[in-house]
A and B are shown apart, each in its own frame.
Chain A
Amino acid sequence: MHRIVVDAMGGDHAPDEIVQGAAEASLQLASAEIILVGDSAAVGRVLPRLRHDGARVRVHHAPTRVEMDEKPAEALAAKPDASIAVAVDLVARGEGDALVSAGNTGASVLACARRWPMLDGIRRAALAAVYPTELRRGEKDDPFSLILDVGATIDATAEDLVGFAVMGSAYAKLVSGNRRPRVALLSNGTEAGKGPPEVVAAHAALVATTELNFIGNIEGLDIPRGVADVVVTTGFVGNVVLKMLEGVSETVVRLARYAHKERLAWRLGLVALSSAIDQLKAITDWQQYGGAPLLGFRYPFIKAHGRSNARAVTNAIKVAHKALAGNLAANIARTMGELDERASRRAQGVTT
């Protein structure tokens, strides 16, 4: 049985949508136990109104919560009994196997970093994000690519970037059903020598020591095209890229709304395109993806979008379940071990 801890109070629509998503997950995942961490009175008011399995949803009381706009370090210091802190602690104590939260990202990452051990061979964690692309991938025809890191580690070394590539590849294999995910480094040119020193060094290491499907460097414009299934970058760059992708997407929607209001001809044009727009919406529906992982820790953490509704939460729980069922953490650790071994053999070969 996989025990998935859910921060019931995290997110714009908590606890109602979170509890509803967890309730639905309890019906869909027979081999999982969902542990809702949060104000038990609030959770207890919502849960009995929903279809769920009472033997598979348990409540763990946590009296406070970290608000979405609170500063992570200050909030965690002031509220050690906040739902996210208690949830992270439950997993750390072995009372849960994975975590799902739609709450304050900074607080979630910080809480995990303070309490959870890293995977063997991984020095720093990476927060991944999914984004829709032109090309689809994997046995499920997945329209989403993975980009990591988007903010957990601001200044990554070459070694860290290699670790991110291994983790992203393992995750894409498992969640997208993509047997050989195409992994790329984000740079300012496709040539191996382009980019800052850590990217150049990571490129060399990925070519020399890993068996990943490493396709080299890609540029920013290749991201939405879907040239790579896993895009590896530092947290600083990844965060800028992610925000820009979100900004562009919102601007396009706003422009469409503006067009709809302004002229009849434009309005008619939009109506004519409505089915295509609907299809596009379905492709870019992040709610069906559920959430993105924080990789590198011994336990899986799926960070759902702050605006997550019940469906997104259910899917995030299912992703966490998949990560546990597919032994994601063990797979990453094993690959890192092999990589270390290969690197030390190479080093020995050079010296002897």
Chain B
Amino acid sequence: MMRALLRRVTPLVRVGEKIGLLDHIPPGLPEGAPRPRHTFRWDLDKTYLRTEFDSIVDLAKSAIETAADKQAYPGATALLRALRQDGNRICIVSGSPTQMRQVLAAKLALDGVEYDEFVLKNNLKNILRGRFRSLRAQIPYKLPAMLRSRIGAPAEHETLFGDDAEADAIIYCLYADLLAQRVSTDVLERVLVASRAYEDDAARILELARTVPKEDAVTRMFIHLDRRSPPLGYRRFGPRLVPVFNYFQAALVLYQDKVLSARQVIFVALEMLDSGQYELGHLATSVQDIIRRGRVTREVALQLSEDASEAAKSGALSGRTDLPPFEQIAQSFRQRVRELGVIDAPPPTDEPLDYVRLVDEEHEHRRTRRKHGMS
């Protein structure tokens, strides 16, 4: 409350936030505003932005890149724009340092991506306080940021987007299970110990978890397979979490969830084609892949083909002389689905997660990667 007041009265707070001495607290909903229907939470690096930080050189390069140099993954911008419609909220929580706010905000502006919250990691504060564990910490940073955001604006539904570079799958599931009251305080405490959170940070997180409005709100989570991790590794997180190789696959799942229309899926596809990194064949193969993994049904894919055909007739592809007629595209997609033959994908497990073990495994995995010279 006091901070909010200070923010209004003094520009010094903004300067403090900009240089990283003060945390940026998302403002939440204005008084009297209706409850948001859907919040989409996005990570930035390796989820929205193609960022390399596998080596010191990569890190340095990423730090000095301009907004224009930064590249979004094909389809991500179109997807974010589509999700922003209908009064939905876009909340970005990134592990990038606060000092990069200006360039990252400029990149999002260049892409025409609007957002409601944009939280970055205050690593300068961590260094000044001698909290070096916090520099690499994932759960003690992201989880409270998400809880705080939800306390400020609790939406009916939430969809989360992360990647396979770090612990996003664990954090997102933990967050979802906390909201749905499937994780006890005792378990959360043990998870925070396992994730090496500082005591006062842990106490704050426990308090946030206690006060956050409880609801089974997280309906879907996407893990962008930037490292091309084996998708089977994500089966244990249950059917709500879908690993995707690209944003066309995410759009297909969201179409199945009735969050996106066929027209919006087309726009995601067009952006991917325009990037020059994907051809129609890649998109058709992406459809086949997500069906083969049992994350989208054949029926939905065929329905999309029909709906997309209607959207194409009503002008979704107008002016696209570089593409074959839509019926030809739809035919090749249907053919790809038919080629698939028998599907024998085991359904994702829907058992409670052992978060302490997951965190321990993640630390072990990170140690191994460091040992082998990877970030």
Q: Which residues from chain A sit less than 8 Å from chain B, CB to CB? A: 1, 3, 27, 33, 39-41, 44-45, 47-61, 63
Contacts and interface: CB of A to CB of B under 8 A. Distances in A.
A61 B340 contact: yes
A39 B231 CA distance: 20
Contacts of B288: 58-59
Nearest to B280: A1
B339 A58 contact: yes
B292 A44 contact: yes
B342 A40 contact: yes
Contacts of B227: 51
B281 A54 contact: no
Contacts of B232: 48-49
A44 B245 contact: no
B197 interface: no
A40 B283 contact: no
Residue of A40, A54, A63 most packed against chain B (CB within 10 A): A54
B229 interface: yes
A53 B336 CA distance: 17
A271 B47 CA distance: 52
Interface in B59-116: none
B344 A1 contact: no
Residue of B290, B292, B293, B336 most packed against chain A (CB within 10 A): B292
Task: Report the 4 A-B pairs with minimum CB-CB distance, sorted nearest first.
Answer: A61-B341, A54-B245, A41-B344, A54-B289
B229 A57 contact: no
Contact of A33 (B281, B292, B339, B341): B281
A1 B285 contact: no
Given A1-B279, A33-B285, A60 B228 contact: no
9 contacts: A41-B342, A44-B344, A48-B231, A53-B228, A54-B225, A54-B245, A57-B289, A58-B288, A61-B342
Interface of B: 225, 227-232, 245-246, 248-249, 278-279, 281-286, 288-290, 292-293, 336, 339-345
Contacts of A40: 292, 340-344
Contacts of B339: 58-61
Nearest to B343: A44
A48 B342 contact: no
Given A39-B341, A40-B340, A51-B229, 10 more contacts: A1-B281, A27-B228, A33-B281, A52-B230, A55-B248, A56-B282, A58-B289, A59-B292, A59-B341, A61-B340
Contacts of B342: 39-41, 61
Contacts of B248: 55
B344 A56 contact: no
Q: Is the interface of A mostly helix, strand, loop or mixed?
A: mixed
Contacts of A63: 341
B249 A54 contact: yes
Contacts of A27: 228
A45 to B, nearest CB: 6
A42 to B, nearest CB: 8
A40 to B, nearest CB: 4
A33 B339 CA distance: 15
A278 B58 CA distance: 36
Contact of B282 (A41, A50, A55, A61): A55
Contacts of A57: 285, 289
B228 A48 contact: no
Given A1-B279, A61-B340, A56 B285 contact: yes
Contacts of B282: 1, 33, 55-56
A59 B281 CA distance: 13
A310 B278 CA distance: 26
Contact of B343 (A41, A50, A51, A52): A41
A33 B249 CA distance: 17
Residue of B227, B279, B281, B341 most packed against chain A (CB within 10 A): B341
A58 B285 contact: yes
A53 B282 CA distance: 10
Nearest to B346: A45
B228 A52 contact: yes
B230 A51 contact: yes
Given A40-B341, A60-B339, A55 B292 contact: no
A3 B285 CA distance: 12
A275 B134 CA distance: 48
Nearest to B335: A95
B245 A53 contact: yes
Contacts of B293: 48
A63 to B, nearest CB: 7
B14 to A, nearest CB: 43
Given A33-B281, A56-B285, A58-B288, A50 B336 contact: no
Contacts of B343: 40-41, 44
Contact of A49 (B230, B281, B290): B230
Contacts of B344: 40-41, 44-45
B245 A55 contact: yes
A44 B295 CA distance: 13
Contact of A55 (B230, B231, B286, B340): B286
Contacts of A3: 281
